[in-house]
A = this chain, B = another copy of it.
């Protein structure tokens, strides 16, 4: 796509695939609202006081239907919003169209190139001459990264062999031609960021440890109502969804290897087991390995099982998990996918550059790669990127309502405390009573009724009647 910004009749900027899908997007958005009670409650509770009045929010987060409900919650609370996706395949084009038409500046489409991806990120951060956003909603940390790298842009960096990262530098360099203080201005204005996912949070803690973090950050990922819900139950839903849409393969009877048994891996393993697969887990952490065993799963190394399994899914958050040499040993038409992190969990580079390898695209996001010697092929989903977003529609609305309600609450907290000095240039988690509130907002939809502590019981266990109910270290 030509990288030219479009404008709505009201003058709002956007760049999406097909504006004619806006009506379809609106219909699905309306369905999603019914499934996202936490966000709708935020509109009801906070909308009247317009707490985000005057706030500019930039989001870098999969531009899906669920995110659309988040965006319109932010705008319902008074914010102005600019948005991009945090993954080249994760945008739902009808969602992007509906938001671009009705609510916020969107720069996102399904199937961006890496150049396009960073262009979109840069567009979402660019609020014009007056500087950047007040707040960032981040997922994976790319918006945050761009600002931090921008600020460092005058310095000499050492050569990097990360192809994707080179693009960031180019984007920054081009921007600096226009305003050599662009990112410094952005940094000055920024109140803070709320970060959504494990990988982005890890980056933030590293910056905090290095003393390079430029603004306060709220780690939304480690809210219980995020990591133990979205990561776990979201993936339990969306892994089979992605597998079925991409390949129609029968899961029952197959051997599925789940690499990593963290929250995401637990959700994936549960989904595969429940669908009738035999599940084998690979792990580096003995505690997680022992958890897998207690659920009846086998724990082995990838090498042990590479030639007998049918489905391989990475969830580790690390790189170099499934290498091209593994793929060469797999059964014909073994399925290889990633639901954890970046596309480097799978050795896509090794696969793409393997001499004589042949790529047969069955349909978008579903490729069969055939090795020249064996004529045997593996089926790689979403080019090694997040398969639930590339091949299906990501996590369902209800669980995303939990995650996004945390986001809204974190954004409110940062904004309300922008002048109080409460938050330093550190990483924070939300207090437990807000975590519990997020959960409470989702119970009614599912017909649940909570029990109330009596005063006497409250005294007996020294826990307030209204909570919080657990100590900080509680693991759920």
Residues of A within 8 A of B (CB): 24, 27-28, 31-32, 34-35, 65, 202, 205-206, 222, 224-225, 227-229, 233, 236-237, 240-241, 244-245, 247-255, 263, 273-279, 282-302, 304, 308, 317-320, 332-333, 360, 362-363, 368, 379, 392-393, 395-399, 402, 429, 435-437, 439-440, 442-443, 446-454, 456-457, 460-462, 467, 469-473, 475-476
Q: Kindly provide the distance from the CB of A277 to the nearest chain B CB, expressed in whole angstroms.
A: 6
Residue of B nearest to A447 (CB): B308
Chain B residues with CB under 8 A of A27: 360, 362-363, 368
Given contacts A34-B333, A244-B245, A293-B446, 13 further A-B contacts (CB under 8 A): A31-B362, A31-B368, A236-B275, A244-B244, A251-B396, A252-B293, A277-B296, A278-B298, A286-B440, A287-B435, A290-B439, A298-B448, A318-B461
Measured between alpha carbons, how far is A475 from B471 in the docked complex, in Å? 13
| Inter-chain contact B293/A451, CB cutoff 8 Å | no
Residue of B nearest to A199 (CB): B461
| Inter-chain contact B253/A285, CB cutoff 8 Å | no
| Inter-chain contact B237/A31, CB cutoff 8 Å | no
| Inter-chain contact A225/B293, CB cutoff 8 Å | no
Q: Which of A290, A301, A402 counts the most chain B CB atoms within 10 A?
A: A290
Chain B residues with CB under 8 A of A333: 31, 34-35
| Inter-chain contact A294/B31, CB cutoff 8 Å | no
Residue of B nearest to A255 (CB): B447
Measured between alpha carbons, how far is A57 from B80 in the docked complex, in Å? 64
Chain B residues with CB under 8 A of A249: 35, 396-398
| Inter-chain contact B224/A287, CB cutoff 8 Å | yes
| Inter-chain contact A248/B294, CB cutoff 8 Å | no
* Given A283-B450, A284-B450, A475-B228: A443 touches B293 (CB 8 Å cut-off): yes
Chain B residues with CB under 8 A of A467: 284-286
Measured between alpha carbons, how far is A81 from B244 in the docked complex, in Å? 30
Q: Kindly provide the distance from the CB of A57 to the nearest chain B CB, expressed in whole angstroms.
A: 25
Per assembly, the copies of the chain total 4
| Inter-chain contact B396/A250, CB cutoff 8 Å | yes
* Given A252-B294, A290-B229: A244 touches B241 (CB 8 Å cut-off): yes
Chain B residues with CB under 8 A of A476: 287-288, 291, 475
Chain B residues with CB under 8 A of A237: 244, 250-252, 275
| Inter-chain contact A284/B475, CB cutoff 8 Å | no
| Inter-chain contact B252/A319, CB cutoff 8 Å | no
| Inter-chain contact B294/A276, CB cutoff 8 Å | yes
| Inter-chain contact B442/A250, CB cutoff 8 Å | no
18 residue pairs A–B, Cβ–Cβ below 8 Å? A28-B362, A31-B333, A35-B250, A224-B287, A227-B475, A228-B291, A233-B250, A237-B252, A252-B398, A253-B290, A253-B398, A284-B451, A284-B467, A286-B436, A300-B448, A301-B449, A301-B451, A320-B457
Chain B residues with CB under 8 A of A228: 287, 291, 475
Measured between alpha carbons, how far is A462 from B202 in the docked complex, in Å? 9
| Inter-chain contact A454/B299, CB cutoff 8 Å | no
Chain B residues with CB under 8 A of A279: 296
Chain B residues with CB under 8 A of A289: 439, 443, 448, 450
Q: Within the complex, which residue of B287, B293, B472 is in contact with A436, where a contact is CB–CB below 8 Å? A: B287
Q: Within the complex, which residue of B236, B241, B302 is in contact with A252, where a contact is CB–CB below 8 Å? A: B236
Q: Which of A27, A237, A460 counts the most chain B CB atoms within 10 A?
A: A237
Measured between alpha carbons, how far is A450 from B285 in the docked complex, in Å? 7
Measured between alpha carbons, how far is A437 from B253 in the docked complex, in Å? 18
Chain B residues with CB under 8 A of A298: 278, 447-448
Measured between alpha carbons, how far is A179 from B88 in the docked complex, in Å? 60
Chain B residues with CB under 8 A of A454: 320
Q: Within the complex, which residue of B284, B396, B440 is in contact with A469, where a contact is CB–CB below 8 Å? A: B284
Chain B residues with CB under 8 A of A473: 222, 429, 472-473
Measured between alpha carbons, how far is A119 from B13 in the docked complex, in Å? 51
| Inter-chain contact A253/B287, CB cutoff 8 Å | no
Measured between alpha carbons, how far is A222 from B333 in the docked complex, in Å? 32
Measured between alpha carbons, how far is A205 from B278 in the docked complex, in Å? 39
Chain B residues with CB under 8 A of A287: 224-225, 228, 435-436, 439, 469-470, 476
